[in-house]
Amino acid sequence: MEDPDRTILITGATSGLGRAVAESLAPRGGRLILHGRDPARLAELVADLQPHQASIDVVTADLSDLSQVDEMAEKVFELTDQLNVLVNNAGLGKGATDTRETSQDGHELRLAINHLAPFALTFRLLPLLETGAPSRIVNVASGAQEPLDFDDPHITEGYTGNRAYAQSKFAMVATGFELARRLPAEVITVNSLHPATLMPTRMVREGYGHTVDDLETGVNAVLRLIEAAALDDVTGQYFSIQEPAAAHQQAYDPDIQQRLWDLTEELTGIQF
């Protein structure tokens, strides 16, 4: 899917994996819309990428606040009349401590940023993705996945950072499967991936203090889902690095997917 005229939106583009993916794409031309929550860091990123061929636009939003997600989507509509790729990369790791936090909207923070925000943003941007068809949604998930407790989705009891992170990524993957089922693959594909294990990013250093895979491994995995012609009609799949893989078994359960979809609509106020 290499196309010099394509428009790609990457969330969480000012650091770590998102920035590295943007740096890899910029020399290839086309248009990049890069998201971050810090205007100064976005300006620094634009300055670094300006020598390259890609046209660069930026959007600012704190994804823990669903009203800012809506405002970001409106800004994207002002910037472009089509999207070819949406990379839902922005995320929050397990954290340095097991301190439970909540979002601006009162949701458990990791669920809010890692799942509710990309779900809401994806929904808002579907008209642009349909115009840019055939287009792709790439969800940067994780091999750490744990089913939600539907009686306590915000983990008011038994909270740990690991559990919160794993539940949020499970939610992203499972609803990604459901979204793929609802969208025609010839128009929009939806795939999720575990890009690499413990890459050298701030999120990993904060939560674990050591690394396993290098950043290039993750970048190449994401680029494959963005560009590989072999994946033109592939949708509703989960990849570990560059290989098809099995997500958590319960992520494939239609009843779990539907309950999670309904909960997500309730928490975001979105009706598909």
Number of H helices and E strands in the chain, helices first, is 9, 8
Interatomic CA distance for residues 87 and 34, integer angstroms: 10
**C-alpha of 12 from chain center:** 8
**For residue 182, what are the CA distances in angstroms to 16, 152, 177, 235?**
32, 27, 9, 11
Q: Which of 165, 208, 238, 252 is catalytic?
A: 165
Q: Is the dihedral of CA 170, 172, 175, 176 positive or negative?
A: negative
Instruction: Give residues with Cβ within 8 angstroms of 198, minimum separation 6.
Output: 204, 208, 210, 211, 212, 213
- Residue 48 is inside which H or E element, if any? helix 39-49
Pairwise CA distance, residues 98 & 188, whole Å: 38
Is residue 165 annotated as part of the catalytic site, yes or no? yes
- Burial (CB count within 10 angstroms: exposed 0-12, middle 13-18, buried 19+), residue 70: middle
Distances (CA, A) of 65 to 26, 194, 271: 29, 25, 18
Q: Mind telling me the catalytic residues?
A: 165
